[in-house]
Amino acid sequence: MKKLWQQVRYVALCFVGLGCVAAWSADVFVMTNIPVSAEGKTAVEARTTAIENGENQAFVELLDKIVAPADRAKITIGGHDEIAPFVRDVSVANERAGSTRYFGSLTVRFKAEPVRAFLESQGVTFLSRLPQPALLLPVYKEGTQIYVLDAMNPLWTAMREDLPASRLFQFKLPIGSEEDLLPAQSAGVQYNESALKLMAQKYNVSQVMIVSVERQGTAYEVNTRVWPKNSAPEAEVSFRVTDDRESATKICADLLSDTLRTMTKKWLYLAQNSAQPIQVYSAVVPIEKVSDLSRIRRKLQQLNFAEKVDIKGFSNKRLAVDFHYRGMVTELGEKLRLNGLILTSMPDENGELIYLLTEPQTISADAVAETMATQPAPVEEQMQKPAIEMAPLIGALPMQQPAYVP
């Protein structure tokens, strides 16, 4: 199956204010705001020519958007007769016509399956989905001061002043009215679920992304969180930089660019994995007390990102679990981490590599050692990815802590 892909040169942020029309669609096979103009012997001929040219241009832009640059040159495009079968429908806006001239703006919707089949026949990698739109909330911390929608917030200023357009991400900014101030403060600083839901409903989005920058002297720490929890793992990033420039606004603008680059790399990695078949990753959980067993079971039952979580059984102070997951073990480990579970790998008494699932600071070293001593070797036989293949992928995801420890 072809890997999903997106050109990195489109990595940027699209600011869509209230009432603003953006050249962006959640459907990757829809191209908007295609300007057209043509001449003809008659107005009808000019319009027909303009629309055909617009469909051709829309298809070229679609390929530029979703096909990897290394593969783009492999695709040769013929005339309109070859492109027309891929077009589902066309809508026209801002039409102006004379006796022999025509001007307009097109939205062209392409048929997803025929386009996918065509690209697969060309042997190229391509993207077939886009991230969901989200509302941005800027949080800036310095000492004891915390600013959100405030003129003293340089991150908020940077967001409003310099957000280049993007075909990959679409974010909305709150307008910063008085009715926004209290819920934005509660949502951004305290991750208040009710306030986050209120902001999402007001701005008609399904996700809210909190971008937090904390300054300590010349050090800046960036952390992002998304509501609802686990709805966008590509947007959960964390990093720290040092910058001694005087303008905090310019620094924040660069931090936004760095955040978007990190998000994009992570999103592309996860998007690629979503095209992979379901794999089964087996893990064992060291258990010391009955209360540990009950708590772990509840956590596992609440996980919603795996196709299936199969709790196999409990014996010899260990719980056996199979994760039926569409993607790499590094991504699985990152999602487990966000849910308070740590996935690591260790050799057992026979030197075979197995996965351990623990909670931070709740399982003792003695329990882990006892689990290793009683764990049968065949658990590795169910694993789809050997350790030597997974190790290079550790750096592909910008994690706060490794989800996979060789």
Q: What is the pLDDT of residues 213-251, one digit of tens each?
A: 999 999 999 999 988 877 777 678 899 999 999 999 999
Helix/strand/coil percentages in the chain, nearest 5 = 40, 25, 35
44 within domain boundaries: yes
Asked which of 74, 90, 121 is the last residue of a domain, the reply is 121
On whether residue 4 sits in a domain, the answer given is no
* Percent of the chain residues past pLDDT 90, beyond the cut: 34
CA distance 287 to 333: 19
Domain that holds residue 174: 134-273
Q: Looking at residue 126, what DSSP letter applies?
A: B
pLDDT in tens, 194-207: 999 999 999 988 88
CA distances from 60 to 52, 83, 86, 142, 186 (A): 13, 10, 12, 47, 45
310 lies in the same domain as 259: no
Least Cα distance to 250 among 151, 154, 165, 318 occurs for: 154
Q: In terms of domains, do 364 and 391 share one?
A: yes
Same domain, 296 and 378: yes
Confirm if 224 and 236 have CB atoms less than 8 A apart. yes
Reported as a pLDDT band with limits 50, 70 and 90, residue 277 is low
> Could you give the number of structural domains in the chain?
3
The Cα angle at residue 266 between residues 347 and 168, in degrees rounded to 5 = 160
Q: Whole-angstrom Cα distance, residue 370 to residue 286? A: 8
Neighbouring residues of 363: CB distance < 8 A, sequence distance ≥ 6: 286, 288, 292
**Which range among 43-47, 168-172, 195-199 shows the weakest confidence by mean pLDDT?**
168-172
CA 386 to chain centre: 26
Domain match, 144 and 196 both: yes
**pLDDT, tens digit (0-9, with 9 covering 90-100), for 336-385:** 888 889 998 877 667 677 788 888 765 455 554 554 454 443 333 333 33
* Distance (Å, whole) CA 326 – CA 304: 12
Is the separation of the CB atoms in 337 and 403 below 8 Å? yes
What phi, psi does 354 have (nearest 5°)? -130, 160
The whole-number pLDDT of residue 16 equals 31
Q: Give domain status of residue 8, yes or no.
A: no
Distance (Å, rounded) from C-alpha 147 to C-alpha 387? Answer: 44
Burial pattern 254-284, b for ≥16 Cβ within 10 A else e, equals ebbbebbebbbbbbbbbbbbebeeebebbbb
Examine the domain organization and report whether 241 and 147 are in the same domain. Answer: yes
Predicted confidence (pLDDT) at residue 66 exceeds the cutoff of 50: yes
* Opening angle at CA 148, ends 231 and 146, nearest 5: 110
Are 71 and 63 within 8 A, CB to CB?
Answer: no
Both 263 and 286 in one domain: the answer is: no
- Give per-residue pLDDT as tens, 303-341: 877 878 998 888 888 899 999 887 778 878 888 888 889
Residue 148 shares a structural domain with residue 254: yes
**Residue 18 falls inside a structural domain:** no
For 214, the token pair is: 């904390």
Instruction: Classify the phi-psi angles of 342: left when phi > 0, otherwise alpha if psi is within -120 to 50, otherwise beta.
Output: beta
Shared domain for 180 and 166, answered yes or no, is yes
Q: What is the pLDDT of residue 329?
A: 82
152-187 exposure pattern, b = at least 16 Cβ within 10 A, e = fewer: ebbbbbbbeeebeebbbbbbbbbeeeeebeebbbbb
Does any domain span residue 63? Answer: yes
Handedness of CA 261, 263, 266, 268 (dihedral sign): negative
Beta bridge partners of 290: none
Q: What is the pLDDT of residue 382?
A: 34
For the residues 110-118, what does the mean pLDDT come to? Answer: 89
User: What's 201's domain CATH number?
Assistant: 3.40.50
48-58 confidence digits (pLDDT tens): 999 999 999 99
Residue 166's pLDDT is 59
Q: What is the 3-state secondary structure (H, E, C) of 51-87?
A: HHHHHHHHHHHHHHHHECHHHHCCCCCCCHHHHHHHE
Question: Which residue, of 232, 249, 273, is where some domain finishes?
Answer: 273
Residues of the chain with pLDDT > 70, as a percent, come to: 75
Tell me which residue of 36, 114, 47, 48 sits closest to 82, measured CA to CA. 114
Element (H, E) at 370: helix 365-374
**Are 162 and 260 members of one domain?**
yes
340 SS3 class: coil
Q: Is residue 17 part of a domain?
A: no
pLDDT at 387 over 70: no
Q: Do both 174 and 254 map to the same domain?
A: yes
Alpha carbons within 13 angstroms on the beta-carbon side of residue 334 total: 24
Distance CA 397, CA 389 (A): 15
User: 242 and 294 share a domain?
Assistant: no
Last residue of a domain, one of 93, 121, 149: 121
- Tell me, yes or no, whether 157 lies in a domain: yes
* Residue of higher predicted confidence among 195 and 3: 195
Strand boundaries in 203-307, DSSP class E: 207-216, 219-227, 238-242, 278-286
Answer yes or no: do 154 and 220 share one domain. Answer: yes
